[in-house]
């Protein structure tokens, strides 16, 4: 059997050893009226795409990445555009959220094709830091020092 963990609001997290086990457990639990079954949500990871051409619109980035880089075989590829980080005369840096499988492939490629350009793809990590005490994990607005 898998692992169990008690969560808030009388919830129980069950980790099964295989997909087959989790499907069987979910099927059996769905027969009970007093229990609701929810699969955990996947954590999307953020990537920075550097020097994306300005003529490529945000809605076209997902399809362009998947088609031009031969990544359409990845199951359930999720790409959400978060924001443009920096804008230049003819290009911009774009921060995207991607599914873990797709992130692995994009980081392994290092440079991805977007139209006639090669754009660098790297992990985007935000570090929150206080400008008052220089501590981490809070801002000066919430500083206790």
pLDDT tens-digit readout, 49-58: 999 998 888 8
Q: Is the pTM of this model over 0.85?
A: no
Give the C-alpha separation, 133 to 106, whole Å. Answer: 37
pLDDT in tens, 65-77: 888 888 888 877 8
- Compute the distance between CA of residue 114 and CA of residue 52 in angstroms, rounded to an integer: 7
pLDDT digits (tens, 9 = 90+) for 72-128: 888 778 888 999 888 888 899 999 999 888 888 889 888 999 888 899 999 998 888
Report how far residue 111's alpha carbon sits from residue 118's, in angstroms, rounded to the nearest whole number.
Answer: 6
Q: What is the Cα–Cα distance from 123 to 46, expressed in whole angstroms?
A: 6
Q: Are 13 and 40 in contact (CB under 8 A)?
A: yes
Contacts of 123 (CB under 8 A, 6+ apart): 45, 46, 47, 48, 103, 107
Structure letter (DSSP) for residue 31 = T
Q: Which CATH superfamily is domain 45-123 in?
A: L1 transposable element, RRM domain (3.30.70.1820)
Query: Minimal CA–CA distance to 121: which of 109, 130, 129?
Result: 109
């Amino acid at each position: 059997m898998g692992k169990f963990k008690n969560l808030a609001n009388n919830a129980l997290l069950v980790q099964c050893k295989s997909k087959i086990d989790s499907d069987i457990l979910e099927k059996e639990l769905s027969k009970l009226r007093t229990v609701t079954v929810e699969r955990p949500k996947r954590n999307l990871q953020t990537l920075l795409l550097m020097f994306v051409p300005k003529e490529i619109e945000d809605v076209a980035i997902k399809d362009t990445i998947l088609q031009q880089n031969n990544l359409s075989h990845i199951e359930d590829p999720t790409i959400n555009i978060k924001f443009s980080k920096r804008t230049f005369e003819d290009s911009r840096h774009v921060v995207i959220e991607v599914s873990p499988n797709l992130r692995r492939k994009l980081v392994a490629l290092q440079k991805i094709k977007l139209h006639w350009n090669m754009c660098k793809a790297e992990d985007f990590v935000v570090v929150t830091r206080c400008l008052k005490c220089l501590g981490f994990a809070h801002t000066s607005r919430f500083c206790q020092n």
